């Protein structure tokens, strides 16, 4: 199957700083990328959907100024958590889909801890 | 998109078949049934999907009832590495249609 990578896999940052997470599709062109967050023992919650070259569409309740998403190329999307707070600590997962594929392929996730 | 209902947890003996049920009684004619799994602290992994016919791949088989109101994912010979949370999701075709995630079934494969 198609491969999606995320970097970093783990990050610890201080409260008030910003953190950038990268999501790359390694062997296909991702026309659509999705960002999710997952709290312990909970299901995945979609944060936003982005199509290459256009602005992301955020889900209700997700602050677009806090979670900045850039999808500038067909193989790279970034999520920046700005002015992170401890309640932003979570598991962030991206997924990618190409036009010709029915399924989404997921990255391995990034564990963010804000101290 | 239609909702799905799955048992919260199941156990299976290693080497035996694991049969994971899913109810999707409000599924529409254009909605596919997808199965993903998530091993602890990893991203979800696509397993299989289908519309009406039964499907099989190297990972699993998907059996969809004739009325499409339920389906069963079958792992024919479960191994310890199949221990994971299994999610059944129904979704219409279309590039921007979202996957709506429930709590899935936590499958424990025991030695």
Q: Which of A42, A51, A93 sits opposite B43 (nearest CB)?
A: A93
Show residues of chain A in contact with B99, CB under 8 Å.
Answer: 34, 46, 104
For A9-34, write each residue's pLDDT tens digit: 999 999 999 999 999 999 888 888 99
Is the CB of residue A9 less than 8 Å from the CB of residue A108? yes
Q: Single out the residue of B3, B16, B11 nearest to residue B76, CA to CA.
A: B16
Q: Is B58 on the interface with A (CB under 8 A)?
A: no
Is the CB of residue A47 less than 8 Å from the CB of residue A21? no
Q: Is B97 on the interface with A (CB under 8 A)?
A: no
Q: Is B94 on the interface with A (CB under 8 A)?
A: no
Q: Is A34 on the interface with B (CB under 8 A)?
A: yes
Q: Contacts from A41-48 at CB under 8 Å and sequence distance 24+?
A: A42/B103, A43/B87, A43/B101, A43/B102, A43/B103, A43/B104, A44/A93, A44/B44, A44/B101, A45/B101, A46/B98, A46/B99, A46/B100, A46/B101, A47/A79
For A44-69, write each residue's pLDDT tens digit: 999 999 988 888 999 999 999 999 99
Q: Single out the residue of B104, B65, B64, B110 nearest to residue B86, CA to CA.
A: B104
List the pLDDT tens digit at each of the 111 positions of chain B.
668 999 999 999 999 999 999 999 999 888 999 999 999 989 999 999 999 999 999 999 999 999 999 999 999 999 999 999 999 999 877 656 778 888 899 999 999
């Amino acid at each position: 199957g198609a491969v999606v990578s995320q970097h970093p896999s783990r990050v610890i940052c201080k409260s008030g700083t910003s953190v950038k997470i990268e999501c790359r599709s390694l062997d296909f062109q991702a026309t659509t990328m999705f960002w999710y967050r997952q709290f312990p023992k909970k299901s995945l919650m979609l944060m936003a959907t982005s199509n290459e070259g256009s602005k992301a569409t955020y889900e209700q309740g997700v602050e677009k100024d806090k979670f900045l998403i850039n999808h500038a190329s067909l193989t790279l999307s970034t999520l920046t958590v700005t002015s992170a707070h401890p309640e932003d600590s979570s598991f962030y997962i991206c997924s990618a889909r190409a036009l010709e594929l029915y399924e989404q392929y997921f990255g391995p996730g990034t564990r963010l801890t804000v101290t | 998109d239609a909702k799905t209902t799955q048992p919260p947890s199941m156990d299976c003996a290693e080497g035996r078949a694991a049969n994971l049920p899913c109810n999707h009684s409000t599924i529409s004619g254009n909605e596919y049934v997808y199965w993903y799994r998530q091993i602890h602290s990893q991203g979800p992994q696509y397993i299989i999907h289908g519309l009406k016919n039964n499907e099989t791949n190297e990972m699993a088989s998907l059996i969809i009832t004739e009325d499409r109101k339920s389906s069963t994912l079958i792992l024919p010979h479960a191994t310890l590495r199949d221990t994971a949370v299994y999610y059944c999701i129904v979704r219409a075709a279309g590039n921007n249609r979202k996957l709506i995630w429930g709590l899935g079934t936590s499958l424990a494969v025991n030695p």
